[in-house]
Structure 1
């Protein structure tokens, strides 16, 4: 066989020689050892094209065990949330992309499990399947702060523009977690899921209008709304006696500690609106306001306007009363000042000679001689307490620390002003002694001069 013009298909070398070690003549590449031609077998249909040794031993790369376990964990989350197949496929795509990235390739197994949950979360949001980060954190039994950090990192790495989900959008999915249908609880406690969701969404919208939702986590607000919705749909004695903890045990959900505070805040708003209902004659309190929830939600906007108008009228009346009281107090202060001036005028001569008699009470300065009132020294009142509805961070504002002046060591050589000396005088005898001392110092200085 001739080797002129032949090249090795494996390495491209033209260094082809005859191999005489075998009984059949063939051409072999000197550089890589590939068989270039095998004579009659080269054109045989069974033999096919020339394949190098490295290509004949190559196998398909299998995914690692951690990737397989992560995908299995992801499928389990999707089955728990009962999402459709499109969300499952998109979640797997995101997980495969994120897992191969250098940021998540060498991390702990816990972080990889949270990554699977974040892929499900972003897929649900992209395909309009409302779900909260708190639900994913609960299913993963992980810290919501850690889940949020990994979610933000994953979205940035994969360049995903995930929409922001409103709390009212996830109420339907959240309400389905409560097992309070007729199949799970007795008939007097059972409630239709659609009616419960509709009433809870209305309560959440009312909470949003009154600033309760601002800056708050969604899970406690949704739990408080579902609880109040369940009570208000059939406000009988049995339901009204139920506490949040007992309701969560009945509905087979985990109680959220912050939900109790949100219930109290929503009830306060309901009371403010319930007092404006014209046909309600009894006093509306947090204990009986649940019975008025249906009427309040049906006339929510009208009651809000009426409550704000009533609050403004009340503030205006208080302001006018305060102005009248201030005018009366100013007249009293002026009369007291004029009377005190008249009392001090006959003692003017005695004040010029303090050693001749008792000290003038008008010139004596005591510890309470400052005319400034305590109100002028108090800080400004929180404006959130003057309005009917305000954000929680304004109503319960944190007190700022007052910067204290630096304390200096007293050496005894500090200068003392005359006003400060006068503040130490307490009795007429001290006044006379001080005047006599000043007179003696003045005479001694004149003698020396």
Structure 2
């Protein structure tokens, strides 16, 4: 069928399509000039206007994703199935990954960064759908460095403006304990180390709650705290065989990597249990330390609210077992403020300090003297930023001494110091005039 187009050679408008093999050509019927050749040079939209375009533009409508994008999308689905997340999380991650992959920040990057992008998309969707998952779990599955993963994660949230809800610490306990190998019988694990997962999770959750109420969670990374709580919970369920098992061996048996601060968190949680254990009546006469207090974890957690209230109010006396200097100072100050103040001072009056306090209380105060305020008891639980403050190293001035040598008055005086004390004649005259006035 001829078209209303002029031939550039002869100017004739007699143009028609000529089927040549498998392609369609537009040919002038007067001179035989070939105007356009085949559908490979035009798109469907450009064919209407009869304009020739390049081959790369003609295939833009049916462009397929690249191999790395297809492989990354497959990795997203495989990771979701390994984690056994809900189908809605898998669908959300499959939609987020192409969007993130085509972003200019992640399009022309290294393959390691694109591998980390797979885990970041799954982690973001799990957080958005309240599915507890830690970055360490994803990094262990993908064999990605933690620093690279965190950098890609922060960049993904910033560039795509993603809304990530906060994740509760208690929700992470069960998820983190699910990866332990101590709940399944194996040849490499002795039978005395096997334990029921539900018992460990319940007790570890109670220990994490106790750590949160005593300021041990404030500003801390969650994984070391959960690892320490799971270790103490596992020990307390069968202390006779597990007290000698160290934290490093526990992590090897569980098949997880030991976080560096986990051993310190174990000592901190055991220290909280040690402060609360002497308040129990049946433990007041026993000698309890950081290692043996794990035996009484169940009793302490059972009466946790009462023991915490007593510890915060400072109602426990001096004969309650081993205490720290902070608790001893708290009990001495609260005994001075209590109703038995007179009796306590009379008993302590045999010493020089007691006589001094008694004599100061008996002295009459003048009209202008203000009665001193009673001292408040020092809190027994404080945030880590107050209990573990780093001391600044003293850096002396260049050329100066550290101040450790005693001053005798016979030290040499430098010329610069002597010049500071010399006065000009004008200064001497002003000084004499001022002295005469005074």
Identify the TM-score tier after normalising by the shorter chain.
0.5 to 0.7
Aligned pair partner of 1:292 in 290, 293, 296: 296
Q: Give the whole-Å Cα distance in 1 for the aligned partners of 2:119 and 2:184.
A: 32
The answer to whether structure 1 residue 265 and structure 2 residue 268 are counterparts is yes
The answer to whether structure 1 residue 58 and structure 2 residue 59 are counterparts is yes
Corresponding residue of 2:237 = 233
Contact 1:200/1:222 (8 A) holds in 2: yes
Aligned pair partner of 2:108 in 101, 106, 109: 106
**Alignment of structure 1 residues 181-192 onto 2, 5 Å:** 181-184=183-186, 185-192=189-196
Give the alignment's TM-score, normalised by structure 2.
0.67
Q: What is the count of residue pairs matched by the alignment?
A: 343
Q: Give the whole-Å Cα distance in 2 for the aligned partners of 1:400 and 1:303.
A: 36
Superposition deviation, residue 266 in structure 1: 0.6
Corresponding residue of 1:154 = 156
Which has the higher Rg, Structure 1 or Structure 2?
Answer: 1
Q: Give the whole-Å Cα distance in 2 for the aligned partners of 1:51 and 1:415.
A: 97
Give the alignment's TM-score, normalised by structure 1.
0.66
Superposition deviation, residue 254 in structure 1: 2.3
Aligned pair partner of 2:87 in 62, 78, 85: 85
Greater displacement, 55-64 / 283-292: 55-64
The answer to whether structure 1 residue 274 and structure 2 residue 277 are counterparts is yes
Identify if the C-alpha distance between structure 1 residues 7 and 18 changes in structure 2 by more than 3 Å, giving closer, same or farther: closer
Identify if the C-alpha distance between structure 1 residues 406 and 249 changes in structure 2 by more than 3 Å, giving closer, same or farther: closer
Contact 1:275/1:283 (8 A) holds in 2: no
Q: Give the whole-Å Cα distance in 1 for the aligned partners of 2:332 and 2:254.
A: 43
| Cα offsets for 1:362-400 (capped at 9, x unmatched) | xxxxxxxxxxxxxxxxxxxxxxx9531112222111113
Q: Give the whole-Å Cα distance in 2 for the aligned partners of 1:118 and 1:328.
A: 68
Contact 1:168/1:201 (8 A) holds in 2: yes
**Alignment of structure 1 residues 4-153 onto 2, 5 Å:** 6=4, 17-19=13-15, 33=36, 58=59, 60-153=62-155
Q: Give the whole-Å Cα distance in 2 for the aligned partners of 1:301 and 1:414.
A: 70
Identify if the C-alpha distance between structure 1 residues 177 and 18 changes in structure 2 by more than 3 Å, giving closer, same or farther: same
Identify if the C-alpha distance between structure 1 residues 20 and 212 changes in structure 2 by more than 3 Å, giving closer, same or farther: closer
**Alignment of structure 1 residues 172-183 onto 2, 5 Å:** 172-183=174-185
Q: Which runs of 5+ in 1 are unaligned?
A: 9-14, 36-48, 332-384, 418-449
Q: Give the whole-Å Cα distance in 1 for the aligned partners of 2:19 and 2:206.
A: 91
Q: Which runs of 5+ in 2 are unaligned?
A: 39-47, 315-326, 360-376, 401-412, 423-438
- SS state of the match for residue 33, structure 1? strand
Greater displacement, 175-184 / 293-302: 175-184
Superposition deviation, residue 309 in structure 1: 2.4
Contact 1:18/1:27 (8 A) holds in 2: no
Superposition deviation, residue 118 in structure 1: 0.8
